[in-house]
Structure 1
Amino acid sequence: MPSSPKIKKEDMLQAALELVSKNGYAALNIKAVAGELGCSTAPISWQFGGMDGLREELIPFAEQYVEDKYYSRNENELATFEQRGKGTIDLALENPNLFRFLYTGERSQLLSTGFELQTNNQDAANMYQEMAELLGITPKQVMDFAMTMMVYTQGIGTLIASGIVRDTKENMYHMLHNTGMTYLKGLGVKDSTLCDLSGGDRSDESSSNG
């Protein structure tokens, strides 16, 4: 049997992630990863069995990186949901190559992090229920709102990562916030409820402009 590689799998995935972030997915290959690590291609090929294996394991590794760096919980479910949208904008602005790798067709697997809309996911179901109770609307309305905002935010992120839209992070945040608030008001959510739930987000300054 071959001996265990001296370079850890996590280090190989980290090198692949950095390569994608710097040069885009098209630049990713085993030889390039080996160059980043200063080793031969043999341990990488042994660890992943080829490019398909490397790509397959890189996707969840990259998703977890994004989850840890760009997404965080907030003081309530609505604020947490908005923060995830802001994190998507941050990713598109700061790391467009990685955004494109994860979200714009440079991969074949379905997205497993970010906005979770799976009705059979208990955590997602609990989020919808908690948001519905906070907002005074139905879980179905919350799911429709979540889907709309996911499509809207991913659209903004794609335009940013493609270089089509250039604007400040603050303006993008305001666009995201104001669109979400307008949608929720259309569902009959009270202004006072929205103010109470979104006012604690220290990065949000749009409440004074709306």
Structure 2
Amino acid sequence: MEVNMPSSPKIKKEDMLKTALDIVMESGYSALNIKEVAKRLGCSTAPISWQFGGMDGLRTELIPFAEQYVEEEYYRRKEAVDELSAFELRGRGTIELALDKPMLFQFLYMGDRSQLLSAGFQLNTENNTGIYKPLADRLGITVSQATDFSMTMIIYTHGIGSLIASGIVKDTKENMFQMIHNTGITYLKGLGAKL
């Protein structure tokens, strides 16, 4: 008895996710649907539905795919010379993302969908003190102070990013960078950090 195996998909899963990500970046999360992905790929909806099991599956798999894209395009900075500059460059990446790709920023960090983030964001830092120790050592402050500083700056920067992505704040990238830099320096000076 001969068993027919399904043929390998002609359109790769990664291409489907990339197309879905393009739709989100161009038109927002609400514009994402299987029919639009299929139209852009020049295929029927069947291979996409088969690959992801429906729209919920596509959206669920798109989350880590989008997070990886943002990590590679906006957060991995080779020019960092120490923990403090790496931290600031990550903040700059957040501002750049909000300015360059506001719909993607909204998809990842704003609205109902943001509750499904695979990594999440927790202010409880009891188990994360190890990641703040190098920053604390670099600045000559306690791990607790470095943790508080980091959490405050992350919230502040994401708040600015949300205002930018929503179209409420309109300013140059350089001014936004200077704003988060000045705020961070002022905070650290208040702690007596070595700058």
**TM-score (norm. length: structure 2):** 0.90
Distance 1:63 1:117, change over 3 A: farther
Shift of residue 62, structure 1, vs aligned partner:
0.3
Q: Does 1:89 align with 2:132?
A: no
Aligned to 2:85: 79
Aligned to 1:33: 37
Shift of residue 105, structure 1, vs aligned partner:
1.9
Gaps of 5+ in 1: 195-210
From 164, 179, 184, the equivalent of 1:160 is 164
From 123, 147, 150, the equivalent of 1:146 is 150
Aligned to 1:2: 6
Identity of aligned residues (%): 66
Q: Distance in 1 between matches of 2:73 and 2:135?
A: 24
Q: Distance in 2 between matches of 1:131 and 1:38?
A: 50
**Cα RMSD for the two superposed structures:** 1.9
Shift of residue 143, structure 1, vs aligned partner:
0.9
**Contact 1:77-1:127 at 8 Å conserved across structures:** no
From 87, 109, 116, the equivalent of 1:109 is 116
Aligned to 1:131: 135
Shift of residue 6, structure 1, vs aligned partner:
1.0
Deviations 1:41-71 (A, max 9, x none): 0000000001110011100000000000001
Gaps of 5+ in 2: none
Shift of residue 106, structure 1, vs aligned partner:
4.1
**Contact 1:90-1:169 at 8 Å conserved across structures:** yes
Distance 1:188 1:111, change over 3 A: farther
Q: Distance in 1 between matches of 2:124 and 2:175?
A: 26
Q: Distance in 1 between matches of 2:156 and 2:87?
A: 13
Aligned to 2:59: 55
Shift of residue 112, structure 1, vs aligned partner:
2.2
Query: Could you tell me which amino acid in structure 2 is paired with residue 131 of structure 1?
Result: L
**Contact 2:123-2:151 at 8 Å conserved across structures:** no
**Contact 2:38-2:48 at 8 Å conserved across structures:** yes
Q: Distance in 1 between matches of 2:139 and 2:124?
A: 18
**Contact 1:117-1:143 at 8 Å conserved across structures:** no
Shift of residue 116, structure 1, vs aligned partner:
9.3
**Partner SS, residue 166 of structure 1:** coil
**Partner SS, residue 120 of structure 1:** helix
Give the number of equivalent residue pairs. 188
Distance 1:8 1:115, change over 3 A: farther
Deviations 1:13-42 (A, max 9, x none): 000000000111110000011111111100
**TM-score (norm. length: structure 1):** 0.84
